Amino acid sequence: MKVMDEKDVRSLSPTLLDLKASRHAATVTSFFETTIEPVCRDIASRLAQVESHSGQGDAWHELRLTQMVSHQSFAMMLASLWERAFAEHLSDLIRTTLSSTEDRKEHDGFQRQIKTGGWRSFEQAFVRVHGFEMALIPMFEELKILHLLCSVLRHGEGDSAKILRKKADWLFMKEAELRDIWDYFLESVEEFSVGKLDIRLEHLARFRDVVVAYWDMIDSGRFAPSSEA
C-alpha cells in the first residue's frame, strides 16, 4: 500500500473538510431537536397551564421571564456553534494550501484574527479563502442578524443594537404585547430597547435553518455567489 505524502494529504483535504461541514449541520440539527425544542415547548406548556388558572400572576411572570432568558441563551448557543465552526473551517482551508514554515506562521495569525475578531474579520477571512464577498451568499443577512443578536445579548445597548432594530424588528415585542402584563418588569424600558427582545421558538428554528443551510451549501459543493444577492 502506498503511503501518502503531504501533497497527497492536502489534495484530499477539501473532501475531508466537506465531511466536517456535514457534521456541523448535523450537530446543530441534533442540538435543536434534542434540547432547544423540547425545553421551549415544555416552558410554553407550563405557561399555558398557569394562564388557565386565575390568581397566579406571579407564577406566570416568573415562567415568562424564564422563557425569555432560555430563548436568549439558546440563540447565543446557536450563534456560537456556527461562528466557532465557521472560523475552524476557514482556518482549515487555509492550512491545506500551506507548505513552508513561514506560511504556517502567517496561518497562526490568521487563526487568531478570525477567532477573536468581529463580523468584519469574518468577511475578510471569507474573501481571502473563497475569493468573493461573503455578502453574496444567500444566507448572509440571516447569519449577520444572528451574529448581531448574540452581540446585543452579550453587550446590551450600542451600535449592534441599533443595527439589529433596523434589520430585525420582528425580534422585538410589538406595542400590543407591551401593555398591562409587561409593565410588571418592563415599565422603565424604552421602546425597542434590548430589554424588549422576545426571541420565540420559531425564531430559533429560523436561525437553525440558516446555519444548516450554510453547511449544506458547503457540503453540496454548490458554493458560489448567489445571483439574487
- pLDDT the model gives residue 48: 87
For the full predicted model, state whether its pTM sits above 0.75.
yes
Cell of 14: 477539501
- Residue 39 CB contacts under 8 Å (≥ 6 apart), including other chains: 70, 74
Exposed e or buried b for every residue in 183-197, given b needs 16+ CB within 10 A?
eeeeeeeeebebebb
- pLDDT the model gives residue 129: 78
CA atoms within 13 A on the CB side of 190: 4
Per-residue confidence in pLDDT tens, the chain, 229 aa: 444 343 443 343 444 455 677 889 999 999 999 999 999 999 999 988 887 565 666 788 888 888 988 999 999 999 999 988 888 888 777 776 655 555 555 656 666 666 666 788 888 888 887 788 888 889 999 999 999 999 888 888 788 888 998 899 899 877 655 554 444 445 444 544 566 788 999 999 999 999 999 998 887 765 555 544 4
Do residues 182 and 190 lie in contact, with contact meaning Cβ atoms separated by under 8 Å?
no
Domain boundaries, the chain: 6-157+204-218
Residue 107: what residue type? H
Distance CA 122, CA 83 (A): 9
- pLDDT the model gives residue 193: 58
* Residue 177, number of CB atoms within 10 A of its CB: 13
- pLDDT the model gives residue 208: 97
CA atoms within 13 A on the CB side of 47: 14
- pLDDT the model gives residue 202: 97
**Which tens digits make up the pLDDT trace of 176-215?**
555 544 444 454 445 445 667 889 999 999 999 999 999 9
Backbone angles phi, psi at 172, to 5 degrees: -110, 145
